[in-house]
A and B are shown apart, each in its own frame.
Chain A
Amino acid sequence: MDLNALTECLSSTSCMVTQATSGFIIGMLLFLVAVGLTLIFGVMKIVNFTHGAFYMIGAYLAMTVFQMTGSYTLALLGAAVGACLFGVVVERCFMQRIYGGNVLMQLLVCYALVLILDDLVRIVWGPEFKSMGMPDAFRVPPLFIMGGVVPPFYLFLIAAALSIAVVLGLAIARTRFGKTIRAAAHNPAMVSVLGINTGLLFTGVFALGCLLAGLAGGLAAPVRSLTPGMGFSILIESFIVTVIGGMGSILGALVGALLIGLIRTFGALGFPLFTEALMYLAMAIVLIVKPSGLFGREAA
Chain B
Amino acid sequence: MSKPSLIALNRRGFLAAGAAAAGTVSMPWVAGAQAKVVKVGFPTILSGRVAQLGTSSRNAAQMEVEKVNAAGGLAGRPIELVIRDTKGQPQEAARVARELVNSDGCEMLIDAEASTGAFAVHEVARDLGILCIHTNSETSSLTADPKLRLPNAFRCARQGIHDSVVGGSYAAEIANAKNLTRWATCSPDYAYGRDTTGEFVMYLKRFAPKVEVISEAWPKIFQPDYTESITKLLQAKPQALYSCLWGGDLTSFIDQAAIYALFTQMQFYAVNMADYTALTVVKNLPAGIHSGNRYIKTFPATPQNAAWGDAYRAKYGEYPTNWAWQNGLVINFLAEAAKKANSADGKKMADALRGLTIASPLGADGTVTMRAEDQTIIGYAVGWGTTIPKEPYVPEMKSVPWQRILELEAEWKKDKGFT
| Chain A in direct contact with chain B (Cβ < 8 angstroms) | yes
Q: Tell me the A residues contacting B by CB distance below 8 Å.
A: 5, 9, 14-15, 18-19, 22-23, 25-26, 29, 119, 122, 127-134, 138-139, 141-142, 149, 151-154, 220, 222-230, 233-234, 264-265, 267-269, 272-273, 275-276
* Complex CA–CA separation, A23 to B219 (angstroms): 15
A272→B218 contact, CB < 8 A: yes
Q: State in angstroms the CA–CA spacing of A138 and B283 once bound together.
A: 14
B138 at the interface (CB under 8 A from A): no
- 14 residue pairs from A and B, CB less than 8 Å apart: A18-B235, A26-B227, A127-B52, A131-B255, A131-B281, A134-B255, A142-B259, A224-B255, A225-B248, A225-B281, A229-B49, A265-B228, A272-B217, A275-B228
Are B217 and A128 in contact (CB-based, < 8 A)? no
Q: For the complex, what is the distance from the CA of A119 to the CA of B318, rounded to whole Å?
A: 21
- Tell me, yes or no, whether B89 is within 8 Å of chain A by CB: no
How far, in Å, is B92 (CB) from chain A's closest CB? 15
B227 to nearest A CB, angstroms? 4
Indicate with 1 or 0, residue by residue over B216-235, a CB within 8 angstroms of chain A CB atoms. 11111011110111111011
**B343-383 toward A: CB 8 Å interface, digit per residue (1/0)?**
00000000000000000000000000000000000000000
A268 to B235 alpha-carbon distance, docked (Å): 12
Residues of chain B lying within 8 A (CB to CB) of residue A223: 225, 252, 255-256, 259
Residue of B nearest to A230 (CB): B224
CA A127 to CA B57, docked complex, whole Å: 13
The residue from A128, A152, A225 contacting B255, defined by CB atoms under 8 A apart: A225
Task: Report A-chain residues with C-beta under 8 Å of the C-beta of B230.
Answer: 22
What are the residues of chain A within 8 A of B247 when measuring CB–CB? 129
| Residues of A with C-beta under 8 A to B260 | 142, 149, 151
- Nearest CB in chain B: distance from A146 CB, A: 14
Q: Residues of B contacting A268 with CB < 8 Å?
A: 217, 219, 228-229, 232
Beyond A128-B52, A224-B225, A225-B249, whether A141 also contacts B261 by CB under 8 A is yes
User: Judging by beta carbons under 8 Å apart, are B228 and A127 in contact?
Assistant: no
Q: CB within 8 A of A151: which of B46, B228, B259?
A: B259
Task: Give Cα A9–Cα B284 distance, bound, in whole angstroms.
Answer: 31
The reply to whether A22 and B227 form a contact with Cβ atoms under 8 Å apart is yes
- Does B34 interact with chain A (Cβ within 8 Å)? no
7 A-B pairs besides A152-B259, A233-B222 with CB distance below 8 A are A129-B248, A131-B248, A149-B260, A223-B256, A233-B224, A264-B225, A267-B228
On whether the beta carbons of B232 and A269 are closer than 8 Å, the reply is yes
User: Within 8 Å CB of A272, what residues of B?
Assistant: 216-218, 232
Q: How far is the CA of A223 from the CA of B248 in the complex (A)?
A: 11
* A122-B248 in contact (CB<8A): no
Q: Are B231 and A19 in contact (CB under 8 A)?
A: yes
Counting CB contacts under 8 A, is B239 at the interface? no
Within 8 Å by CB of A25, from B227, B251, B282, lies B227
B residues neighboring A (CB under 8 Å): 46-49, 51-52, 55, 189, 215-220, 222-225, 227-232, 234-235, 247-249, 251-252, 255-256, 258-261, 277, 281-284, 318
A22 to B258, CA, bound (A): 14
Q: Are A9 and B248 in contact (CB under 8 A)?
A: no
Tell which of A25, A139, A229 touches B48, judged by Cβ atoms closer than 8 Å: A229
Give Cα A265 to B226, complex, Å. Answer: 9
Q: Which residues of A contact B48 (CB under 8 A)?
A: 228-229
Q: In the assembled complex, how far is the CB of residue A103 from the closest CB belonging to chain B, in whole angstroms?
A: 26
Q: Please state if A15 and B248 are interface contacts (CB–CB under 8 Å).
A: no
A70 to chain B, nearest CB (A): 12
Q: Closest B-chain residue to A19, C-beta based?
A: B231
Question: Contact at A130–B228, with CB atoms within 8 Å?
Answer: no
Contacts of A142 in B (CB 8 A): 259-261
Please, how many angstroms separate the alpha-carbon atoms of A119 and B47 in the complex?
A: 9
Let me know if B223 and A233 touch, CB within 8 A. Answer: yes
Nearest residue in A to B258 (C-beta to C-beta)? A134
> Contact at A227–B248, with CB atoms within 8 Å?
yes
The interface residues of chain A lying within 8 Å CB-to-CB of B223 are 233
Closest residue of chain A to B48 (Cβ to Cβ) is: A229
Cα distance A268–B261 in the bound complex, in angstroms: 20
Shortest beta-carbon distance from B276 to chain A in Å: 10
Closest chain B CB from A247 CB (angstroms): 23
Please name the 7 residue pairs, one residue from A and one from B, whose CB atoms are nearest each other, closest first.
A133-B283, A129-B248, A127-B51, A225-B248, A151-B259, A268-B228, A22-B227
Q: Are the C-beta atoms of A15 and B235 separated by less than 8 Å?
A: yes
A8 (CB) vs chain B CBs: closest residue: B235
Q: CA–CA, A103 to B250, complex, Å?
A: 39
On whether the beta carbons of B189 and A134 are closer than 8 Å, the reply is no
User: Shortest beta-carbon distance, B238 to chain A, in Å?
Assistant: 13
Q: Determine the distance from Cα of A267 to Cα of B248 in the docked complex, in whole angstroms.
A: 24
**B251 proximity list for chain A (CB < 8 A):** 129, 131, 225
A149 touches B231 (CB 8 A): yes
A153 to B46, CA, bound (A): 35
Across-interface contacts of A131 in B (CB, < 8 A)? 248, 251-252, 255, 281-283
Q: Are A234 and B218 in contact (CB under 8 A)?
A: no
Query: Separation in Å of the B50 CB from the closest CB of chain A?
Result: 9
Pick from B217, B231, B284: contact of A22, CB below 8 A.
B231
Contacts known (A127-B52, A141-B261, A223-B252); A149 close to B225, Cβ less than 8 A = no
Minimum CB–CB distance from A117 to chain B (whole Å) comes to 13
Residues of A within 8 Å of B277, CB to CB, are 128-129
**Are the CB atoms of B49 and A227 closer together than 8 Å?**
yes
